[in-house]
Amino acid sequence: MRKTLSVAAWVVAAMMAMPLVAAPVMADGVSWKTISNPEVWSHVQERSQFSIINFKDGYEKMIISIQVNESELDSGSRMFWLFPIPSVPQAAKIDLISDVPRLEGIAYSNKVLEKVANEPMWYYCVLGSQIWAGVPAMMYFMVTPLSGGGGGNNQLVDVYESTDKYGLHSEIISADNASGLQAYLTSQGLTIPGSDQAIISDYIDSGFSFVSTRIDDLADFRENATIQHDDVGGYYMMGVEVDFPTDEIFFPLKLTSTYGDSEIPITVQVLGFVDISVMPATGSSLRITADYDEIDDWYMLRGESYYYYGHHRSNESVNQTLAFFEEQIGADWQSNPTDNYGLWREKFTMIHIEGKANTLISDLWMKDSPPSSVSTMEFFFSNPWVIVLAIFLTISTIAGLIAGLFLDGSSKRIPQYLLIGLTNILTVLVPTFLFSKCYIGWNKERYGEKPEKNALSIIMLNFFLAYTVAFTILSIGVWMIIARSAA
């Protein structure tokens, strides 16, 4: 059976600057800029937010990034942004990322339909029941097993790890209270507006740490950073990776609520199928959707043929991406880095959040397990013959109904026609024989006598032909619908 789907899944780079290849971007949370003389701090309006998360055995790797319009940074002199992580700072680590990987694939529901369309049991059921003697579908059922689907530098604030790249400075910090955090930031020449401090205080009280990233000289940064362009205009982009232990998968959202009525489209990609355990929003204006996809072609992580917008990836970019996906590809690339590596058939969850920022009342928390609906899909993906068998039985009963009404025409005997059609699982000869036996009684009920032998033979032949034609047309029609839906 010809494969009905062909989907290319690529690693799409959200190309960022460097002083040669990277550009600035604010991580999810909240970001501020200031204009000197007088120094007034205000929100940097984010155009969109994107994150990719790799969670394995209680440890989360999270790359977060946003797009910021070029005009947003034209008027400022300094900028910094802040987001929380649910971990003690000693256990976390950070890095500034030169390329933000982005997954593309095909809806997992389509993959299930594709498996169903290509399932060999169609031959067992459709051809076997109409041509062969015996019980091939039952034999198939019997032999096919079921599958399961650093040191402190402030008494109230400690800096545990820091990194400097691409004109940026990023660090992991913890604070005893919001005023202590503010005092530390003030010592660095940074200020959090008072209206945003309440949410930050809540995080501190809950034992969260923070990732702080700043640009000390926006003019110098703009001079060296690469500006990306699309239909909307020019923008800067950059990513921050933070790795930390956590019991559930986490993505920071609550600080984004400080943007008020602004609408910031947010996309979160998580490797594997996950279930949202805490809905982060209130009100009907916010739309949260989760799509379950699978990479359908090689997602290349290394290779001379792999380009980012027309130029080769840097070695640093390649190594960062390989490290991010280490759990999926294994550690062999560390000892043999010249080989090509990629992801194949990897499942991932795509979460979209759209609506007003002030409706975000909590962070996004996710369980490292699929919801029940997706678990059901996984079962059917592993056992597509179950769906084919159910379709076969349904079509068999409908074909019995059609043939019965065509030849006998009594609406009161519809349940009998359906039951006769169901016996097609033992080949079409069985419903033909049963119909002929029942027809003797129906004829006697109608006319007071049994049909002649020749008449009965004709009835059997007519039922065989009517049933087979109805069954075949229904089978082909249903299969074509499934194949088209999977495409």
**Mean pLDDT of the region 157-178:** 85
Residue 140 lies in a domain: no
Residues 315 and 450 occupy one common structural domain: no
Residues 286 and 374 occupy one common structural domain: yes
pLDDT-based confidence at 371, cuts 50/70/90?
very high
Burial class (CB in 10 A: 0-12, 13-18, 19+), 407: middle
Name the amino acid, one letter, at 61: K
Structure confidence at residue 48 (pLDDT): 67
Residue 359 lies in a domain: yes
Residues 212 and 183 occupy one common structural domain: yes
What are residue 336's phi and psi, to 5 degrees? Answer: -135, 70
Provide the number of structural domains found in the chain.
Answer: 2
Q: For 311-366, write each residue's pLDDT tens digit.
A: 566 777 778 888 888 888 776 666 665 556 677 788 999 999 888 888 888 899 99
Regarding predicted confidence, which is higher, 68 or 380? 380
Rounded Cα distance between 350 and 272, Å, is 10
Residues 42 and 87 occupy one common structural domain: yes
Residues 351 and 459 occupy one common structural domain: no
Of 347, 379, 411, the domain-final residue: 379
CB 396 within 8 A of CB 125: no
Of 379, 413, 443, the domain-final residue: 379
Structure confidence at residue 334 (pLDDT): 60
pLDDT-based confidence at 397, cuts 50/70/90?
very high
Residues 318 and 464 occupy one common structural domain: no
Q: Is 260 left (phi over 0), alpha (psi -120 to 50) or beta?
A: left
Of 363, 379, 395, the domain-final residue: 379
Residues 332 and 349 occupy one common structural domain: yes
Question: Which residues are CB-contacts of 157 (< 8 A; sequence separation ≥ 6)?
Answer: 173, 174, 175, 176, 180, 181, 183, 184
Q: How many CB atoms within 10 Å of residue 400? A: 28
Residue 244 has pLDDT above 70, yes or no: yes
Residues 311 and 405 occupy one common structural domain: no
Give the closest residue to 150 by CA, choosing from 241, 216, 88, 80.
88
What is the pLDDT of the chain when averaged over all its residues?
A: 78
Residue 471 lies in a domain: yes
Residues 244 and 358 occupy one common structural domain: yes
Residues 337 and 389 occupy one common structural domain: no
CA dihedral sign of residues 351, 355, 356, 360: negative
Residue 442 lies in a domain: yes
For residue 97 the two structure tokens come to 């990322």
Residue 306 lies in a domain: yes
Rounded Cα distance between 438 and 446, Å, is 12
Residues 78 and 97 occupy one common structural domain: yes
**Mean pLDDT of the region 110-136:** 77
58-67, 107-116, 184-193, 418-427: range with lowest mean pLDDT? 184-193
Residue 123 lies in a domain: no
Residues 399 and 293 occupy one common structural domain: no
Residue 5 lies in a domain: no
| Enclosing domain of residue 391 | 383-486
Give the closest residue to 256 by CA, choosing from 31, 72, 51, 40.
31
What are residue 328's phi and psi, to 5 degrees? Answer: -85, -35
* pTM for the structure as a whole: 0.77
pLDDT-based confidence at 137, cuts 50/70/90?
very low
Give the closest residue to 113 by CA, choosing from 484, 391, 482, 392.
482
